[in-house]
């Protein structure tokens, strides 16, 4: 297949590009290096030393014998994206090309507008380019479980059957997003659904849980192919952050009670899920939603798992509760369906002590690159509220 990956320089995009290339697909990627720019602006960096995109592509050619074509530009630029789509004529587009951080979206008016513009306008440009150039192409879009929020009912996969005043219908599952980033993803989902209904496009919306892990089958082949690994307050997901904290002796930062529960999956399973979606495309005019996670954990449970694995490796791991900078329910019901990808053949890598120890050992190799000041949160969802100052790592 001809596969175009938007955001192909990113944490998930680069391993995905290599995975499809290794399978013999004709892979092209688009990126504008915004994640690298955001880190530069905040004087932070990936824990893992990542090469430039050109060095990565050259190393992949050397290791695998396969080519990956690159296009540098922003998908918010409709003319640029049109030209790429018209040249590549993709049969599948994997769309990671968005600002992925809730804290970054809540930092300021500027970052909120940037998030919404980048994500919503970029996706709209893609939908028009597909309509005009490749109407049979299958869009596989990375969404988020955060679109749903934490309703007091079971979360279905995208749609719910409702009976109201004696009548029934199947409608999109209600969305109660918890940040302006998550809200941008809801807008994306609605726009994609509209394009499928109106223009006959085909799309799979992958509502992904929180991803953790460093290594994939392809990144393990050569140090130059490693993907990025973020742990900072803006782009570091919770389990990745806990693992880094355990290795460097920083208290694990559990926000509030730690009862916040979400779906999680290993980075290897992200690649599995995307590959399953691409290999089993939606029908023309169909808008599918898959809930993409393998297990559910509360933040407190994750901290306990990391503490246990870290202790077994000789680390002195302290779990500490910090004031929650977010506005969210800290103790709630959470039960989400995730059967569609399993039905397609997903074989999960479950989180256990052995996998956690492997992640911790990898982090140990790079611990001298940790920028500790970047870990504690400074962005508050409601800055008007009085929130206690975060205790320093050295305090008891």
Per-residue pLDDT tens digits for 14-49 = 999 999 999 999 999 999 999 999 999 999 999 999
- The set of residues, in sequence order, having a beta carbon less than 8 Å from that of 340 and lying 6+ positions away, is 157, 288, 290, 291
In this model, does residue 385 exceed pLDDT 90?
no
Question: Residue 394: which pLDDT band, with cuts at 50, 70 and 90?
Answer: very low
pLDDT band of 272, cuts 50, 70, 90: very high
pLDDT at res. 395: 35
Q: What is the pLDDT of residues 315-329, one digit of tens each?
A: 999 999 999 999 999
pLDDT of residue 390: 46
pLDDT at 391 over 60: no
β-pairing verdict for 138-144 and 26-31: unpaired
Query: Does the pLDDT at position 387 exceed 70?
Result: no
- pLDDT exceeds 50 at position 386: no
pLDDT surpassing 60 at residue 277? yes
Would you say 16 and 30 are in contact if contact means Cβ atoms under 8 Å apart?
A: no
Q: ∠ CA(9), CA(51), CA(27), 5° rounding? A: 40
pLDDT at 265 over 70: yes
The mean pLDDT value of the chain amounts to 96
Q: Domain map of the chain by residue range? A: 2-211+267-292
Model confidence, pTM? 0.96
The whole-number average pLDDT for the span 149-178 is 98
For 369-384, the pLDDT digits (tens) are 999 999 999 999 999 8
pLDDT score recorded for residue 266:
98
For the beta carbon of residue 373, count every other beta carbon within 10 angstroms.
12
What gap in Å lies between CA 370 and CA 134, rounded to an integer? 44
User: Would strands 92-95 and 2-6 be described as parallel, antiparallel, or unpaired?
Assistant: parallel
- Per-residue pLDDT at 343: 98
The rounded distance, in Å, linking the Cα atoms of 202 and 196 is 6
| Bridge partners of residue 298, in order along the sequence | 261
The CA distance from 158 to 173, in Å, is 5
| Closest by CA position to 242, among listed 187, 315, 191 | 315
The pLDDT value given to residue 384 = 82
Q: How many CB atoms are located within 10 Å of the residue 332 CB?
A: 14
Residue 69: CB partners within 8 Å, gap ≥ 6? 27, 28, 29, 88
Is pLDDT above 60 for 240? yes
Can you tell me the mean pLDDT for 56-72? 98
Catalytic positions are: 144, 181, 185
Distance separating alpha carbons of residues 125 and 81, to the nearest angstrom: 7
What is the per-residue pLDDT across 103-131, written as a single tens digit (0 to 9) for each?
A: 999 999 999 999 999 999 999 999 999 99
- Rounded CA-CA distance 187/53 in Å is 30
- How much of the chain, in percent, has pLDDT values that exceed 90? 97
Q: Which architecture does CATH list for 2-211+267-292?
A: 3-Layer(aba) Sandwich (3.40)
Q: What is the mean pLDDT of residues 258-266?
A: 98
Residue 337 has pLDDT above 60, yes or no: yes
């Amino acid at each position: 297949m001809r596969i175009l990956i938007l955001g192909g320089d990113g944490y998930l995009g680069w391993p995905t590009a290599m995975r499809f290339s290794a399978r013999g697909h004709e892979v092209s990627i688009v990126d504008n290096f915004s994640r690298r720019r955001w880190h530069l602006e905040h004087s932070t960096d990936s824990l893992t030393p990542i090469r430039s995109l050109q060095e990565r592509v050259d190393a992949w050619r050397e290791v695998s014998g396969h080519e990956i074509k690159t296009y540098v530009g922003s998908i918010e630029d409709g003319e640029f994206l049109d030209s790429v789509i018209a040249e590549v004529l993709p049969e599948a587009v994997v769309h990671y090309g968005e600002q992925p951080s809730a804290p970054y979206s809540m930092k300021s008016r500027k970052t909120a507008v940037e998030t919404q513009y980048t994500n919503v306008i970029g996706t709209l440009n893609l939908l028009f380019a597909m309509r005009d150039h490749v109407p049979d192409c299958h869009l596989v879009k990375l969404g988020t479980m955060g679109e749903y929020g934490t309703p007091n009912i079971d979360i279905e996969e995208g749609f719910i059957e409702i009976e109201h005043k004696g009548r029934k219908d199947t409608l999109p599952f209600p969305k109660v997003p918890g940040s302006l980033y998550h809200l941008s993803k809801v807008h994306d989902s609605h726009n994609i659904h509209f394009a499928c209904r109106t223009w006959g496009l085909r799309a799979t919306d992958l509502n992904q849980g929180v991803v953790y892990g460093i290594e994939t089958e392809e990144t393990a082949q050569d140090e130059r192919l490693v993907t990025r690994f973020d742990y900072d307050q803006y782009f570091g997901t919770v389990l990745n952050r806990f693992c880094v904290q355990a290795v460097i002796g920083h208290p694990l930062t559990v926000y509030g009670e730690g009862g916040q529960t979400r779906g999680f999956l290993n980075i290897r399973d992200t690649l599995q899920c995307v590959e399953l979606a691409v290999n089993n495309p939606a029908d023309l005019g169909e808008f599918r939603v898959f809930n993409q996670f393998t297990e559910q954990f509360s933040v407190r449970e994750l901290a306990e798992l990391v503490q246990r694995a870290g202790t077994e490796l000789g680390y002195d791991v302290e779990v500490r509760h910090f004031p929650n900078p977010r506005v969210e329910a800290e103790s709630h019901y959470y039960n989400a369906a995730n059967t569609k990808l399993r039905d397609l053949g997903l074989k999960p890598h479950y989180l256990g002590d052995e996998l956690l120890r492997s992640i911790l050992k990898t982090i140990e190799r790079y611990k001298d690159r940790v920028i500790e000041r970047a870990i504690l949160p400074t962005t508050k969802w409601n800055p008007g509220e009085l929130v206690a100052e975060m205790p320093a790592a050295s305090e008891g």
